[in-house]
Amino acid sequence: MKVNGVPGAEAVSPQSAALLVAESLTRTLPGELPVTLVADVSLSIARGEFVSIVGPSGSGKSSLLYLLGLLDRPSSGRLVLDGEDTSAFGEDRLADTRLAKLGFVFQFHFLLPEFSLLDNVALPMRRLARLPDAEQAPRALQLLERLGLAGHAHKQPHQISGGQRQRVAIARALANRPLLILADEPTGNLDSASSQNVRAILRELVDDGDTTVVTVTHDAQFAAGADRVVTLVDGRLAP
């Protein structure tokens, strides 16, 4: 089947135009014995869709996510994001696109320890400088409140739990109103209750129409909560 000209991509509902289209993405590490991390992956992701990428350890899941998030460049193939072919983007354009259109949540939260939670969430807004300075802190507080953390806004990361830190990381990912959130094992370091909380938050973001979510996960229960599960084996999409 072809969707938006991409062989192997799954059909999306007529009312939902594709936000992200990957066409024959391949990522190979050069060397005397080249290593292919992602091989000929074609995938279409609709606006407002929640997709989980699963597969055995070492199957290339995170490598694919990094390609979809413009953190790595493919060795071949192309990626169309929000109608724009990113193949010819220079490093500055890639960085600007990541900041303006994408949000990232990783297994480790990567919060700045010397900053308050409020300042951590506001940091992407300051970098993008699209929102006036006077509106950045109120938006950061609004995001923390949405995630149940308003009372902790002026604490530092070490003063809250691991599950709460991951919620701050999600708030930070939402700071610039991204079109797409990419999450790499977002519950990998969390207990079951915190994992369920993070999964529920991401599900709610999609259901509210705020964003599209793509996650990499080993958690079968987490993956089951997505709209679609994509399986990667040896760098290739499983049939």
Q: Which segments of the chain does DSSP mark as H helices, in order?
A: 61-68, 91-101, 117-128, 133-146, 162-173, 192-207, 220-224
Domains with residue ranges and CATH for the chain = 2-237 (3.40.50.300)
pLDDT string in tens for the chain (239-residue length) = 233 333 334 443 333 479 999 999 999 988 888 889 999 999 999 999 999 999 998 899 999 999 999 999 999 999 999 999 999 899 999 999 999 999 999 878 889 999 999 999 999 999 998 889 999 999 999 999 988 888 999 999 999 998 899 899 999 999 999 999 999 988 887 888 888 888 888 898 899 886 899 999 988 888 998 999 999 999 999 98
Q: What is the pTM of this model?
A: 0.85
Report the candidate in 38, 118, 42, 47 with the shortest Cα–Cα distance to residue 71: 38
